Amino acid sequence: GAGVSQTPSNKVTEKGKYVELRCDPISGHTALYWYRQSLGQGPEFLIYFQGTGAADDSGLPNDRFFAVRPEGSVSTLKIQRTERGDSAVYLCASSLVTGVSGANVLTFGAGSRLTVL
Amino acid sequence: AQKVTQAQTEISVVEKEDVTLDCVYETRDTTYYLFWYKQPPSGELVFLIRRNSFDEQNEISGRYSWNFQKSTSSFNFTITASQVVDSAVYFCALSVVGNSNYQLIWGAGTKLIIKP
């Protein structure tokens, strides 16, 4: 697609429920990132995919969070047993891989705003 | 450990004024990249510039300019003749080359308000 697409744009759920957030990256971008942004703060890294595999999941806060990218394109971030502290904007980004780690320029989606009541 | 500090939480200026957004970073690594991203009210982060640690040459792009000084670990961003459309939150970020992880370390952002 022309840009990074994230759905839903807004999700309100109750504490303890399961949530899935979807990211459709730019076609041809093999690198995909999930970040989380709380109000008034910079994005916080969650996970990085190179192709189908998670190359770095060191930012996932706990085992309630899980992400997949089965065909190397669309990715789904899954949150189990949601807590009020999970409320944030979840950002997805994709990039071409330059071959130099750290140099990738990210293209972000508009984010999925999650509110846990 | 790496860290990015944007000490200015919010800046408000009148249109056509020049404004500088400060960014100070910390890293022990010698090879790294610095970035600036813009986040308008729509929420989508937009890439502005990338600079590697071996290139201290300042850069100008239209009304935007960047001053990278390794001696003070700073990468400041100046908007000349500001416009209302420049109103946004601006983030500075750091990425270290050669790490096994690929994360960007972000500052907390500076909210820039340009008044007409």
| B chain contacts of residue A44, beta-carbon cutoff 8 Å | 106
In 3D space, the residue among B60, B83, B64, B73 whose CA is nearest the CA of residue B20 turns out to be B64
Q: Which residues neighbour A99 within 8 Å (Cβ) at sequence distance 6 or greater? A: none
Distance of CA A52 to the CA centre of its chain: 14
Distance from CA of A44 to the nearest CA of B (A): 7
**For B102, which of A41, A101, A108 is closest by C-beta distance?**
A101
In 3D space, the residue among B114, B113, B94, B98 whose CA is nearest the CA of residue B5 turns out to be B94
pLDDT (tens digit, 9 = 90+) per residue, B9-30? Answer: 999 999 999 999 999 999 998 8
Average pLDDT on A102-114 reads 90
- Of chain A residues 26-55, which have a CB less than 8 A from chain B? 31, 33, 40-45, 48, 55
A99 has pLDDT over 80: no
A30 has pLDDT over 70: yes
CB of A18 closer than 8 Å to CB of A82: yes
Q: Do B44 and A31 touch (CB under 8 A)?
A: no
B93 has pLDDT over 80: yes
pLDDT at B72: 95
| A chain contacts of residue B5, beta-carbon cutoff 8 Å | none
| B chain contacts of residue A96, beta-carbon cutoff 8 Å | none
pLDDT (tens digit, 9 = 90+) per residue, B45-87? Answer: 999 999 989 988 888 899 999 999 999 999 999 999 999 999 9
pLDDT at B39: 96
For the record, the structure tokens of B32 come out as: 């790294």
